[in-house]
Each structure stands twice: as structure tokens, then as C-alpha cells.
Chain A
Amino acid sequence: MTAKVNLFVNENLYAFNSGTEHAQARRIRAFQQLGIPAYYVTRNYNRFLARDAANLNLDMQTVINMYDYFQGTQTTRMRKQSLHDLADFNWRTDHLDSSNPNFSLVQKAGRQVARITVLPATVGLVNEVIYNDRAGNPTRRENWDWRGFLSSVDRFTPDGQVQVTQYLNLAGDPVLEVNFMVKDGISQPTIWELKQYHGKNYRFATEDDLFGFFLNELIRQNDGQVNLWSERRSVDRAVSQAQGMTGRYAILHEMHTVTNTDLPAGTLYAGYQDLFEALTPAFDTIFVPSQRQRADLQSRYPKQNFKVVPDTVVTLPQHVPARDQRIPGHLLVLGRLSAEKAPELALQLLALIRNYLPDVTMEFMGYPSSPDYLAQFKAQVQTLGLGEQVFISKYGDAKQVQTALRRAQVLINPSSHEAFGMQLVEGLAAGLPLITMENRYTPNAVVEDGINGYRLQTLPFNGAVPKIVQILEDAQVWQKMSQASLKKAQAFDLANFGTVWQEVLADKV
């Protein structure tokens, strides 16, 4: 056990998170339970940080965002700021038109003075106040934090682009100022000014330079007793430049190559090139979720140190719904709706299963990578005549995911491009038989062919369709596989997770 502070560094935590953020959030929570100091550190400005952290079941005390830190608003609590009592306007002279739930208009003698947008999923809480000049042009935007304070102000150029953004402390003083100029033909930040931070000014050329300064400040405040972990490839460089910590590590959550057919020497994802081709010397160890990925990377980069840590941890439920408490013939696909996750393969599979079981249904839960992709996917559902069979649910928070897992009979993973398969581990804990496309980095510890599910080859799925039908139709088969999944889930519980991590921390760190 170590007293060092673990700073897990990411870009952000989002309204819609990918496995990277989920895995990181779970780890932070587990560390908290295990008494290991750990923080979720983020770079990006996020006015919805408190909401998004809550959606990931993260205590705000374990989240350190760079902007929040410099704004001095880390401990600010939620306060409801209704647009009806904003001090920006004089309601004795201005009219408020609130006929739209998403925004209100402030009017003075019939002229629009400002447009106030409403925080998503709230009734009348202030999101932005966009001021208009006498001809209705936008001049200034005030951006409010989810917690109900004015967080930043944008000034617009004469043609309506952001010219300068000032980030404010609670007293309304600008503590960070970002000026925009045209560079390479587009308007973008060209100078970052940190003002009177501990009585001194600082200038930075980029957000990442500021981020590096910020990380160094966090390290300094912990007297250097810090393990610094890079969680996303977009922050590798900033993390690699930090100074004074005891250890520096990167964690991978994804496959590092573009295809899974030419491993281990395949083409790297663009995002991974910097890490493996330039930055590896800066990192003491690079951690991956599976032994096989470790072996592939180790053979490719023999000088670098690679190790395996659990990608995820699950809480084993006290009670798992029995087969007859679930929707008969209901299949679940968890994950982002996007091309690399291959949800259309799940549709192909569904079409084949329907030949045996006309009442089969399939639920997709996840956020679409783009509106275009969603439209294209829906069109494909219609083309395959699966309109009655397919349900697309919204991205769900932890509770909604659990509910979806409890109503399904089988969890399907159509992607053959997983670094581990976090959602499959969720399926284990939910006692579900698992059907996955063959994945190089998903170990048998998660899906063992014929024991707790099946590993499918490419179309036409190596004759597995009748076997899947059997799981759905035969209570005994389902029961056997469900038990097998629950048994495998134990390997991913907090105790095992803690044992591995504590070894890693004690050994290496």
C-alpha cells in the first residue's frame, strides 16, 4: 500500500461517455473504497462537470478539473439560478417571453435585448445569456455553470465569432483569459493568460501548455508524491511533460491498431502514434487490460515496459433476475452506435435468429457517433425489415444500464475490436449468457465458447445461430450459462481488483 496520490488524467468527463471514462470512473470509485488516494483529473472546460460526475457516480471531491481549479470553484455547491431572477435585467422595464421551454427572450419596448437559454433537462435554470445590440447582433455571451454561478464570458467579434473568453472566479473577476485570432485561416485561441495565480501572471501558447503547468501545480502541492496516469491519448503529451512526480504511466482502454487482422504489427491508430513512436521513454510503464495485448505490444516495443491491470471492476448483485423474469427472446447490445462497434452485424445476426424465433427483439443502448450515423443505422433496420424487432434506447446512466441488463436474456457484442469488453463484464455480473464476435483481446475469462456463451466468427457466424436460439428457448441451457457467467464475474469483483492493483502499486510505484 502506498500513500502516493494517484492522478488519473483525461480530457474530460462527458454527458455521453465512452468506455475510457467509465473504466476510469469505476477505478476511482474502487480506489476510494479501498482507501487509495485517487482523483479524476480533466483538462477541458465543462460547465456541466457536476452533473456529468454525478451521472458517473463520481464524488466531486474526487474530480479535479483544470478550469474549476483556477476558477476556485471546486467546492461550490449546487444552487438553482432561475432565469426569472437574474440580476442582469430590470424586470420593471424589460419583458420576458418564456413561451419556449428551451429559451426565453428579454425584450425592451419590443426589441430583443438578450436570449437566455435553459439548462438541459431543467425548468427555467440559466444556461447562457446571449446579449444583443440594438440591431439584434450577438455581442456577449455569459455561460453559467450547472451549479448556478456565472462561469465564463465570451466577447464576440463584429462578425459574431468569439474574440475573447474570460473565465471567472465567484467574485466575477477574470482569472483566465483566452484571446482568439485567425491562425491558419480559422479563428482559434492564440494566447492563454492566467491572471494573478498566487499573485503572479502567466502566459501560455496553448491549452496543453497551461494543462502542463496545472499538472505540475498538482504534483507540487502533493510534494511530488504523485503517480501520474494518462488515460487518453490526447493527454499523453501533456502528461509526458509534467515534472516532479514519482511515476508516470499510461493506461490503454482500446485496441491500438486500426484492424484486428494484422496484429501484432498492424498500423497504429493515429492517436497512438505519438505515444508509441515518440513518448514511450517518458512513461515508466504502459498498462493494458489483457495479457495478449501486452504480449503484442511487448514484442513490437521490446524496450518499453508493459503490464496488465484490470480494466474494470463490478459489484456482484445480491439478486439476479431469473430467466422467466426477463423479456422472452430479448437481446441487448450495449455501446456506442458507431461504425467501429459494428452494430449492423448485430442486425444481421438478429435477422438470422428471427428465422427461428419470429418474436425475437433486440435493444441497442448507447449514444450515436453522429446524427448521420443514426439515420443510416435506422435506414438499415428498415431495409432488413427489422422495424418491429429493434429498439434504440437513449444513452443510459448506470441505473438505466442495470435495468436494461435485467430485462434482457442475452448480451450481444458485435464488435471484434475490443481491448477487453467492459460491457461484457457487466453482462457477467448480470448473469447473462454472452455472445461476442471473436476478439483477440477478450479473454476466455470473460467469454468462454460453449460455457457462458459463444464466440462468433464473421458471417454467417460459423453455424452459431441455432445455438443462440437454443439459449433463448431452452431454460436449462440458459440457466447453465447464466451460472457460468456469474461465476466468471467473481474474478472482477472489488477484492480481486484491489489485490491486483495493490500489487501493481506496491511493486512498481
Chain B
Amino acid sequence: MLFHINATMPAHKSGIEHAELKRIKLFAQKQVPQRLVLREWDPKLHLQLQKEALPDALVLNMFDFYQRATMVPWCKVTARDLDFGETPLIWQIEPEQQRWLISNQADELIARVHYYPDDQQVRLVEWFDTQQNLYKAEYYDWRGFPSMIQWYTANNQVSGETWLDVKGHPVIENYRKYTMGNPGNLEPTHWQLQTENQQFQFDTLDELTAHFLNQINHEFWSAKTPNIFILDRAHLGDAALLNLDWPAYTVLHLHNAQTSNAQEPLTAPLNQHYEYALHNLDRYNAVVSATPQQTRDLQTRFHPKSKLWTIPVGIVNQRLSEQPRIPVAQRQYGKIVAFARIAPEKQLVDLVRAVGLAHQQNAAVSLDLYGYADPTDQYRARREIEAVIQDQHLEQVVQLKGYTDQIDAIEHQAMLYGLTSRMEGFNLALLEGISHGLIGVTYDVNYGPNEIIQDDWNGRVVAYQDYEALAQAILDILADPQLAQRYSTGAYESAQRYSEEQIYQDWEALFQDAAAFWAELPEGKDK
């Protein structure tokens, strides 16, 4: 069994989730036995899985697993379906708050029932005692059963949580205490897991996660083929995978630069998310990065004993490859697009500056930015962009469009794709751009942009943070229709490096290595 390990599958996905979903779809086509292993409790997970068209059977959430709720059909549960333990009741709706207030004849509040506005499905029931204290909050899974209870103290603090199986039996509990390390806040200091036959005590959620990973390694054990764990977010299992009690093939998958400053990969301090894993690099069976540059830098800096693999995380699917190519002449002349969160590390303000400069020379230049505004530092990234737009009077030139999923329509119309990030792990959006024939203009930035865009083949790569050079590159391309067409054709062709077949071949090589590792293990692996 192959396990992809992540936290959850949120509605606002980052590149890691996009990469993972592409990989899962590719493996599904190839009939690789696999599970998406998710660690965080998420009452809306299965709604999101439905939106992603991911079957429940393909997903193994840790809480679901212990709640015996991996495969539970959706069931309509509204406030009217609940049993409040008293009759008669007085019902009062507060539509703005999306909740019902349920009281008894003595006008004592019994419960507040919060619901999802679109279908009235129960989301949360808050319970009140005879003194009108909130004493517990019962969170419902979107599928229609109580999933988790938060217990409230007399000072209205959550003192712990209990997760229930679908029959209401407690299976996971935590207990919170004040600690000197975290004064004023209650934090979980004890976790307990109750299975059918045994109980387990843990100090932390990570210890429970380690137990879980160990357990699925047992449950899916096969003497013939190794379980393969692909760790997509290091913090979820970087230590646990090194301490499994039965062997498995472990893969550390990097999705970002391994150093805090991606432009100085050999000397800069380590990216904090990967620090533990990098100190233990030798102990994973495989380390995957998405570009040859990153693999090279890992090799140079760490000389690991584990095998390094370059497997791009972007996959251009068959449908996209077979679309008719759109000539540059049919595109909107001068239209540049970028798809990215409006976040500090994306440094889009540089792209706006470059567009501002180019626009002074060529009035047709314009930029559309698509993506959520990241709230870090009170939306600093967005505010910086807005300031440049205002200073340079670019209101008609640069548009902040917000998030969209109309990628095909937009990229079939635009002409260039711009990128000025501080660091990347790959950049799926840029790959998507070239696979739509967009000409890439990018900083020479690690890792991904300077691999996906090859200077003078499918666009231009300029020196890092040289937005004047980027402006000049844009003007050069716009000034020469033949050059522009050559780059666009190059873009379509260069995308073939990331075809499904190409990427799957890379993975197959890794699978073969896993099989070889298994064959070399001494007898006794067949538990």
C-alpha cells in the first residue's frame, strides 16, 4: 500500500495539496493501491472530498480511522431531528447567526444548534445546564453524526475533547492543563486512545499520530510488497516514520526549498519545516524533490546516504496536452497573468513594478493577478501592491481579480505568465501556464521557475530581483511577434516534460527501488 501523508484537504488548497491530488489521480489511473492519509480532525472533510471527486475509500483520516467512520454515508440531520431530552420546547431561530435557540417552558436555554446555511445540516450543538452554563459543545460531522465534544469548565474554558465513534462511543480523548510553559492557556497534556481491545496513553497528538502510522503499517502489511509512506508535510511524521516497529519504505517529499533563503541553498540556514528531516536525511529510504536543481543542491550540501530522486510535482494531463494550440496572434496582445496567493513570499509587487515600467514603453501591457489575498501582517502583500498601483497610476493596467477556477478560459486568452517569487518548491501554476502556451517571464529563482522556464526556449529567465530586466524582457517579446510565437510553441512543447507518462516513469523507478529494498530485507519481514 502506498500512503500519501498530509494534514487535511481544505477548500483553500496550497500547492502541496494540488501536487498530491495530481499524484493520486495519476496513481489511480495506473491502479497503484494507495490511500491519502490525513492527520487532522475535520468535520467537513468528506464534503471537501466530494468536491475533489476523491472517493472516501481512497482516504484514511486518523480520526475517522479510530472513530470507525472512514465510510459513512451522508445522512440529513437538522435541528428538528435532535433529541433534547425535554418536552415541550420553545424554538427560536437566529438566521444571521445560523442557529436555533432551544428553550424549555421555564424559559431556560437548553441548547444552541448551529447549522450550515445551505442545507440546515447540524454543525454544532452547544448545551446549557440548569444554571445556564455552557457545559459542552458537540460538533457534528458533515455526514450527520456527533463527532467531537468539547467540555467547558465553569470559567468557560475548554478543558478537553472527546471524539466519538458513529455509535457515540468515546474513542479518543484529550485533557488540558495550565502549564508553566504556556501560562494562561489550557493545552492538551494527555491523550488517550480507546480501541476495542486496548487503551493507549500519549503525551501529545504527535505521539498518537506515530502510533497511527505504525498501526496502518501493520494493518496493510504485505510480505510481498513494502508499504510506501510519502510524507508530504514533514511535521506530521518526520520522526514517526523513522521509528516504525515494522519496516516500510519511507519517502521524504520536499515541496519547498530546504533553506530559508532559496537563493543560497548551500549556506543559508535550513527551512525550519525541514530541519529535523534534514538532520536525519540518511534514515529515509528516499528523498524526492521536484527539480534537478534542488536534488543537486541537497547532494552537494548533505551528501546523504538515502537515495535522492527528482520527480516533478506538476503533471500535465492528457486532456490538456491534446487541446489545440492557440497561436499568439489570437491572444490578447500584452496581457500578462499570474495565479498565486497574494502573499509576501510571492513578491508579486516586483511583477507589478516590472509591468509598470513596461507599460511606460508599450501601452498594451497589462497584468491580471488571480488568487486569494494572504492575511499575513494585515494583508501586507496586497497593501504593498495597492500602494504601487496608486503611486504609478496603474489602476487601468493591473487588476486584482481574486481566486478563480476558470483557468482554461483565462490562459487561452492571455499571452504571458509572470513570476517574481522569493522562493518556490515547484510552482504548479507556472507549469499550467506553459501547458496553455503562455510565455513565461520569471526571476531566476529556486526551485521550479528556473527549471520550468528555460531561457530563450519557452520564455525568459532574468536575474533574481531585477524587475527592470524583467520589464525589458516583456518589451522584447512584445516587440517581436515571431519571437513571441517561438516562445509560445516552446512553452507547449516544454510542457511535455511533465506528461503523465513521463512522471509515472519517474515514480516507477522509485517503486522498483522500494521492491529491491524489500527483497534485500532479511527473512522475518513476513510478520
Q: Identify the A interface with B (CB < 8 A).
A: 87-90, 108, 113-114, 131-135, 137, 139-140, 155-158, 163-164, 166, 171-174, 179, 181-183, 187, 190-191, 193-196, 200-203, 205
Contact = CB atoms under 8 A, between A and B. Distances in A.
A108 B200 CA distance: 12
Contacts of B175: 133, 139-140, 155-156
A28 B214 CA distance: 57
A280 to B, nearest CB: 28
Nearest to B134: A181
B482 interface: no
B201 interface: yes
B131 A181 contact: yes
A172 B201 contact: no
B369 to A, nearest CB: 47
A433 B84 CA distance: 63
A131 B192 contact: yes
Contacts of B136: 164, 179
B60 to A, nearest CB: 23
Nearest to A166: B170
Given A157-B159, A173-B169, A203-B85, A90 B200 contact: yes
Contact of B192 (A140, A164, A196): A140
Contacts of A131: 190, 192, 201
Nearest to A135: B189
Contact of A157 (B130, B153, B199): B153
B190 A132 contact: yes
In this complex, the member of B133, B136, B175, B197 whose beta carbon has the largest number of chain A beta carbons within 10 angstroms is B175
A72 to B, nearest CB: 15
A345 B489 CA distance: 114
Contacts of A195: 168
Interface in B98-145: 110, 127, 129-131, 133, 135-136
B29 interface: no
Given A114-B201, A181-B135, A203-B110, A133 B167 contact: no
Contacts of B176: 158
Contacts of A203: 84-86, 110
Given A114-B201, A155-B151, A155-B173, 16 more contacts: A87-B198, A87-B199, A90-B198, A132-B190, A133-B190, A139-B177, A155-B159, A156-B175, A157-B153, A181-B135, A181-B154, A183-B131, A191-B127, A196-B168, A201-B83, A203-B84
Nearest to A184: B131
Contacts of B186: 158
B506 interface: no
A174 B162 CA distance: 12
A163 B189 contact: no
Contacts of B160: 139, 155
B178 interface: yes
Nearest to B188: A133
B37 to A, nearest CB: 23
A173 B130 contact: no
A181 B133 contact: yes
B129 to A, nearest CB: 4
A172 B196 CA distance: 10
28 contacts: A90-B200, A113-B201, A132-B190, A134-B189, A139-B175, A139-B177, A156-B175, A157-B154, A158-B159, A158-B176, A158-B178, A158-B186, A166-B170, A171-B169, A172-B169, A172-B170, A173-B168, A173-B169, A174-B170, A179-B135, A190-B131, A191-B129, A194-B85, A196-B168, A200-B83, A202-B85, A203-B85, A203-B86
A495 to B, nearest CB: 50
Contacts of A108: 201
User: Ordered nearest first, which 7 A-B pairs have the shortest CB separation?
Assistant: A139-B175, A133-B190, A203-B85, A133-B189, A201-B85, A191-B129, A190-B129
Given A88-B199, A164-B151, A203-B85, A133 B131 contact: no
Given A157-B159, A173-B168, A200-B83, A137 B131 contact: no
Contacts of B135: 164, 179, 181, 190-191
Given A140-B173, A173-B168, A179-B135, A191 B189 contact: no
A89 B199 contact: yes
B392 interface: no
A201 B85 CA distance: 4
Contact of B84 (A164, A201, A205): A201
B384 interface: no
A216 B201 CA distance: 42
Given A158-B157, A158-B177, A158-B178, A190 B190 contact: no
B203 interface: yes
Nearest to B204: A134
A182 B132 CA distance: 11
A441 B396 CA distance: 106
Contacts of A173: 167-169
B179 interface: yes
A131 to B, nearest CB: 7
B173 A163 contact: no
B154 to A, nearest CB: 4
Contacts of A135: 177, 179, 189
A210 B127 CA distance: 19
A181 to B, nearest CB: 5
A183 B133 CA distance: 10
A201 B86 CA distance: 8
Contacts of B86: 202-203
Contacts of A90: 198, 200
Contacts of A172: 169-170, 194
A289 B331 CA distance: 107
Contacts of A133: 175, 177, 189-190, 203
Nearest to B194: A172
Interface in B33-85: 83-85
Given A158-B178, A174-B170, A190 B151 contact: no
B183 to A, nearest CB: 12
